[in-house]
């Protein structure tokens, strides 16, 4: 049987699910379109988090006009994998302390994030270091490297969740 989250995802994709009478009603596109958007502060928007905690932190400079497409693609991949995440352009110790994995765009943010996390904690976290979003948008090799590292992070997170480490 499909749970409500799966029904909602199918409705977002435009797929109508027919359920036998007496079963749970399918979620319609109108029902999801009428839901109010959750308000979050612009600096760090948690999406898909359990209890407000993000397990993967996406750090990207919001000033780059290329950042939106690349970062949105990473967010979509994390959402599809059902991994809670938060996107921010401010590198803060409190956000890094609660993160299990980090995707960092740009050398400056990577150095700053690395300096805020103790060495033992860095080894326990999953890190994906990527070039600047503008460079990734222009270079096929950089895109391939980003998605390869992202797949590695998703596999590690999935294995940890499967065996009960999280």
Q: How confident is the model at residue 138 (pLDDT cuts 50, 70, 90)?
A: confident
Kindly state the tokens that stand for 43.
């600096």
**pTM value surpassing 0.75:** no
d(C-alpha 25, C-alpha 3), whole Å? 11
Q: How confident is the model at residue 160 (pLDDT cuts 50, 70, 90)?
A: low
Q: What is the DSSP string of 97-161?
A: HT-SEEEEESHHHHHHHHHHS-HHHHHHSEEEEE--HHHHHH-HHHHHHHHHHHHHHHHHHHHHH
d(C-alpha 5, C-alpha 143), whole Å? 30
Q: How confident is the model at residue 162 (pLDDT cuts 50, 70, 90)?
A: low
The 10s digit of each residue's pLDDT in 73-118 is: 888 888 888 888 988 888 888 888 888 889 999 888 889 988 898 8
The mean pLDDT of 2-8, rounded to a whole number, is 77
Q: Is 1 a residue whose pLDDT tops 70?
A: no
Contact 85, 48 (CB under 8 A): yes
More confident residue, 33 or 16: 16
The 10s digit of each residue's pLDDT in 19-67 is: 666 544 444 444 434 333 333 333 444 454 444 455 889 998 877 666 6
Q: Where are the domains of the chain?
A: 1-35, 38-162
Q: Tell how strand 101-105 and strand 56-59 pair up.
A: parallel
Q: What is the CATH number of domain 38-162?
A: 3.40.50.920
Q: In what order do the strands lie in the sheet with 56-59?
A: 44-47, 85-88, 56-59, 101-105, 126-130
């Amino acid at each position: 049987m499909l749970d409500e989250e799966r029904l909602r995802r199918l409705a977002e994709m435009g797929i109508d699910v027919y359920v036998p009478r007496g079963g749970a009603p399918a979620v319609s596109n109108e029902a999801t379109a009428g839901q109010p958007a959750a308000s979050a502060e612009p600096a760090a928007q948690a999406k898909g988090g359990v209890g407000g905690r993000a397990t993967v932190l996406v750090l990207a400079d919001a000033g780059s006009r290329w950042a939106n497409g690349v970062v949105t693609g990473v967010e979509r991949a994390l959402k599809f994998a059902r991994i809670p995440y938060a996107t921010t352009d401010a590198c803060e110790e409190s956000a890094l302390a609660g993160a299990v994995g980090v995707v960092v765009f740009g050398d400056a943010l990577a150095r700053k994030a690395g300096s805020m996390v103790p060495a033992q904690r860095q080894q326990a976290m999953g890190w994906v270091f990527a070039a600047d979003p503008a460079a990734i948008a222009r270079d096929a090799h950089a895109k391939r490297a980003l998605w390869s590292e992202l797949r590695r992070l998703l596999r590690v997170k999935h294995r940890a969740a499967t065996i009960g480490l999280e």
